């Protein structure tokens, strides 16, 4: 398995700047499971006086005893095996000398010791804030971080000196840093380095790792239960969303749940950053989708191949036939999401869009549904860019531009005044064009996107 530490320069720079501040620091580091927090924090700690501690759900007194032993290893001072006294000793010992304490999986400490945050608040106010200790609290539960560490109702509110949210690695850094980069690996795994190891040979490789006894067998379940212990309805919602973006009414109908009741569950999943909402650029009904590509793929596999996953150790050809069509549809959506990011990162539009997204709805005359994959506007310069995204080889650019041109009549924005051009994206093109019906066209294949 390759070392997953790729380009965390910004996060390391922030941590090192705080380390050099010569004053007490209380830093909250959070991000989804598997994102690389542990590797980042241990990298930061290299060559510094301090220690890293990975919390568990064991008894708090046992864990404090372990912390005291770690302190002794580093300082020859044996801290008290009691929570409050331990931090009092640390604060006194390092009143004039920098010392780093990293507590990872902080949510487990809070679970083992209910008054964890309120006691820590008092310790910070009375002792730690007057020391040179750099205390880093890290967690993989987004809900715990937002509510118990960062929320206005948290006892620690107003005490933190910095917060760092660890985000996914972008595709540019993936191609620069990964040993065998390929588009399918990144699209199915997203920007979560840990997952790249399990889909190096593409989507089949990834699916195979969901089967009985494999590393990702319970991955989706574990992620959700970390955030939502009573997860039955949430799991059902995610199963529906595994097929791609869905309107609230569609989810309600499939699960036979009233819209008002469903909205509460949807709001919770969105707050926890498990799902997201997408709105059409020019208005219309919202849709919801699973944010994490691998999580969406896990739920899809368990929706279609549940019996096979529970009874076999690897995928066979029959399983692949059952899931292939929907997987390819999902890959198209993942590609579309990534293209929107690349457009901004690489300044493909040559202007900063006020809005970028998709547009869908019904035509005025026939009431047929339509969808445009990319819509970007800039009001000041009256620029409109429309685009199509296809996860296919040898795409006929003229045919694609023709379909886009027909759909463009549904966009009424500044109809007579706007400057308009098209952008087309595909794995590869059979032919590329620069104009269609007098409108400029730009075509981008995978090779160009990797430049």
pLDDT of residue 4: 59
DSSP code per residue over 10-77: HHHHHHHHHHTT-S-EEEEEE--TTSSHHHHHHHHHTTSSEEEEE--SS-HHHHHHHHHHHHHHHHS-
pLDDT of residue 226: 87
Q: Please check whether residue 322 lies inside any domain of the structure.
A: yes
The kind and range of the H/E element at 261 are helix 259-271
Q: Please check whether residue 323 lies inside any domain of the structure.
A: yes
Q: Please check whether residue 2 lies inside any domain of the structure.
A: no
Exposure of 193 by Cβ count < 10 A (0-12 exposed, 13-18 middle, 19+ buried)?
Answer: buried
Mean pLDDT computed over 250-255: 97
> Do 108 and 23 sit in the same domain of this protein?
yes
> Do 176 and 151 sit in the same domain of this protein?
no
> Do 189 and 109 sit in the same domain of this protein?
no
Mean pLDDT computed over 382-387: 97
pLDDT of residue 3: 57
> Do 235 and 316 sit in the same domain of this protein?
yes
Mean pLDDT of all residues belonging to the chain:
94
| Share of residues in the chain with pLDDT > 70 (%) | 98
pLDDT confidence of 79, banded at 50, 70, 90?
Answer: low
> Do 45 and 193 sit in the same domain of this protein?
no
Boundary residue ending a domain (165, 183, 209) = 165
Is the predicted pLDDT of residue 422 greater than 60, yes or no?
yes
Question: Do the Cβ atoms of 51 and 102 come closer than 8 Å?
Answer: yes
CA–chain centroid gap for 252, Å, is 25
Q: Please check whether residue 3 lies inside any domain of the structure.
A: no
Is the predicted pLDDT of residue 399 greater than 70, yes or no?
yes
Per residue in 100-116, pLDDT tens?
999 999 999 998 899 99
Measured CA to CA, the distance from residue 430 to residue 106 in angstroms comes to 53
Give the predicted TM-score (pTM) of the model.
Answer: 0.92
Q: Please check whether residue 1 lies inside any domain of the structure.
A: no
Measured CA to CA, the distance from residue 130 to residue 24 in angstroms comes to 7
Boundary residue ending a domain (133, 165, 197) = 165
Is the predicted pLDDT of residue 402 greater than 60, yes or no?
yes
pLDDT of residue 12: 96
Q: Please check whether residue 444 lies inside any domain of the structure.
A: yes
Per residue in 122-181, pLDDT tens?
999 999 999 999 999 999 999 999 999 999 999 999 999 999 999 999 999 999 999 889
Domain that holds residue 322: 171-338
Per residue in 299-327, pLDDT tens?
999 999 999 999 999 999 999 999 999 99
Q: How many domains does the chain have?
A: 3
Instruction: Select the more confidently predicted residue: 79 or 265.
Output: 265
> Do 285 and 228 sit in the same domain of this protein?
yes
Residue 242: count of CB within 10 angstroms of its CB: 23
pLDDT confidence of 213, banded at 50, 70, 90?
Answer: very high
pLDDT confidence of 6, banded at 50, 70, 90?
Answer: confident
> Do 77 and 97 sit in the same domain of this protein?
yes
Question: Do the Cβ atoms of 324 and 332 come closer than 8 Å?
Answer: no
Please name the residue ranges forming H helices in 346-430. 397-408
> Do 154 and 175 sit in the same domain of this protein?
no
pLDDT confidence of 78, banded at 50, 70, 90?
Answer: low
Per residue in 63-76, pLDDT tens?
988 888 888 887 77
> Do 151 and 32 sit in the same domain of this protein?
yes
Is the predicted pLDDT of residue 439 greater than 60, yes or no?
yes
pLDDT of residue 1: 54
> Do 284 and 379 sit in the same domain of this protein?
no
> Do 18 and 155 sit in the same domain of this protein?
yes
> Do 319 and 211 sit in the same domain of this protein?
yes
Is the predicted pLDDT of residue 80 greater than 70, yes or no?
no
Mean pLDDT computed over 329-355: 95
Boundary residue ending a domain (338, 365, 383) = 338
Q: Which residue has the tokens 């390092």?
A: 94
DSSP code per residue over 191-226: T-HHHHTT-TT-HHHHHHTTSTTSTTTTHHHHHHHH
| Share of residues in the chain with pLDDT > 90 (%) | 84
The CATH number of residue 87's host domain is 3.40.50.300
pLDDT confidence of 339, banded at 50, 70, 90?
Answer: very high
The CATH number of residue 374's host domain is 3.40.1350
Q: Please check whether residue 98 lies inside any domain of the structure.
A: yes
pLDDT confidence of 279, banded at 50, 70, 90?
Answer: very high
């Amino acid at each position: 398995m390759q070392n997953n530490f790729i380009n965390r320069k910004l996060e390391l720079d922030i941590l090192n700047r705080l380390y050099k501040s010569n004053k007490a620091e209380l830093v909250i580091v959070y991000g989804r499971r598997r994102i690389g927090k542990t590797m980042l924090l241990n990298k930061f700690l290299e060559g510094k006086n301090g220690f890293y501690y990975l919390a568990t759900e064991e008894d708090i007194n046992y864990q404090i005893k372990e912390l005291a032993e770690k302190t002794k290893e580093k300082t020859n001072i044996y801290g008290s095996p009691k929570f409050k006294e331990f931090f009092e000793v640390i604060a006194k010992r390092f009143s004039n000398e920098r010392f780093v304490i990293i507590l990872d999986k902080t949510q487990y400490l809070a679970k083992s010791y209910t008054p964890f945050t309120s006691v820590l608040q008092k310790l910070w106010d009375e002792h730690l804030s007057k020391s040179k200790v750099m205390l880093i609290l890290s967690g993989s539960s987004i809900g715990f971080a937002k509510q118990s560490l960062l929320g206005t109702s948290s006892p620690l509110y107003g005490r933190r000196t910095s917060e760092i949210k660890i985000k996914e690695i972008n595709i540019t850094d993936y191609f620069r840093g990964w040993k065998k980069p390929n588009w399918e690996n990144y699209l199915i795994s997203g920007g979560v380095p840990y997952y790249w190891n399990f889909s190096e040979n593409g989507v089949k490789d990834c699916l195979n790792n969901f089967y009985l006894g494999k590393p990702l067998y319970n991955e989706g379940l574990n992620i959700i239960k970390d955030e939502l212990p009573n997860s039955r309805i949430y799991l059902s919602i995610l199963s529906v969303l595994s097929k791609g973006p869905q309107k609230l009414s569609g989810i309600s109908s499939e699960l036979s749940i009233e819209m008002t009741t469903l909205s509460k569950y949807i709001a919770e999943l969105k707050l926890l950053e498990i799902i997201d909402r997408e709105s059409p650029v020019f208005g219309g009904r919202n849709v919801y989708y699973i944010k994490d590509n691998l999580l969406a793929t896990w739920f899809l596999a368990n929706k279609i191949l549940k019996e096979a996953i529970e009874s076999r150790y690897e995928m066979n050809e029959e399983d692949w036939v059952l899931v292939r069509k929907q997987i390819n549809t999902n890959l198209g959506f993942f590609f579309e999401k990534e293209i929107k990011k690349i457009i901004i990162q690489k300044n493909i539009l040559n202007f900063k869009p006020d809005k970028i997204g998709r547009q869908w709805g019904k035509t005025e005359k026939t009431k047929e549904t339509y969808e445009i994959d990319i819509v970007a506007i800039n009001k000041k310069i009256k620029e409109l860019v429309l685009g199509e995204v296809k996860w296919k080889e040898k795409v006929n650019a003229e045919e694609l531009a023709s379909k886009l041109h027909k759909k463009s009549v549904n966009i009424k924005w500044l109809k007579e005044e706007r400057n308009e051009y098209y952008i087309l994206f595909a794995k590869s093109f059979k032919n590329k064009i620069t104009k269609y019906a007098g409108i400029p066209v730009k075509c981008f294949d995978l090779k160009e996107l990797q430049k």
